[in-house]
Structure 1
Amino acid sequence: MMHADLIDQEDLLGQLKALGFQAPNGATADQACECAVRGLNNERAIVLRTMVKQMYTSGATILPAVRQAIDRQLLPALAEYQQSHRAR
């Protein structure tokens, strides 16, 4: 049986929850990412960065809604967090 690796909203939500992030069941990718970046600290930022890197380098197809949520929510929040903590 051929199976293409896809990362959809449920996969993203599942990965975030498995890493200890809180998001409501049935959340959209945008909502899940928004929840994940609330209260960022060093540990959470590292975990999120690692998750995104693994998703982007895994060879899996990331569905457009998930990629857009990561690009709009996670990456800017991580960049802002890193910038504000580098300046200290």
Structure 2
Amino acid sequence: MMHTDLIDQDDLISQLRGIGLDVPSGISAEQACAHAVRGLNDDRARALRQMVEKMLKGGATILPAVRQAIDQQLLPALATFKQGQTKA
């Protein structure tokens, strides 16, 4: 029997909490990502970027709802934040 690591919404919330974000329990991956990008600052953006890179480069399987939330919430917000920083 093969064991595969999966990243579900609870894992995502746990990882967001692990970088110091106060994310409520019982919310969807999309809601967690939307919550994470509120009030982005340099430190939060850096921590989120590192967390996402680690998740995407790791060997775990990211469940579709989590991947969609990352693609639709976190990545665009981080890109927009970075563009705003380079223009300033």
Query: Where does structure 2 lack aligned partners over 5 or more consecutive residues?
Result: none
Structure 1 runs (4+) deviating above 4 angstroms are none
TM-score by length of 2: 0.96
The 3-state SS of whatever aligns with 2:38 is coil
Task: Give the aligned CA root-mean-square deviation in angstroms.
Answer: 0.9
CA distance in 2, matches of 1:12, 1:32: 8
Q: 1:57 maps to which residue?
A: 57
The 3-state SS of whatever aligns with 2:59 is coil
Query: Where does structure 1 lack aligned partners over 5 or more consecutive residues?
Result: none
Q: 2:4 maps to which residue?
A: 4
Measured after TM superposition, the shift of residue 2 of structure 1 is: 3.7
The 3-state SS of whatever aligns with 1:86 is helix
TM-score by length of 1: 0.96
Q: 1:19 maps to which residue?
A: 19
Q: 1:81 maps to which residue?
A: 81
Aligned pair 1:34/2:34, yes or no? yes
Q: 2:43 maps to which residue?
A: 43
Of residues 64-73 and 14-23 in structure 1, the stretch that sits farther from structure 2 once superposed is: 14-23
Measured after TM superposition, the shift of residue 59 of structure 1 is: 1.3
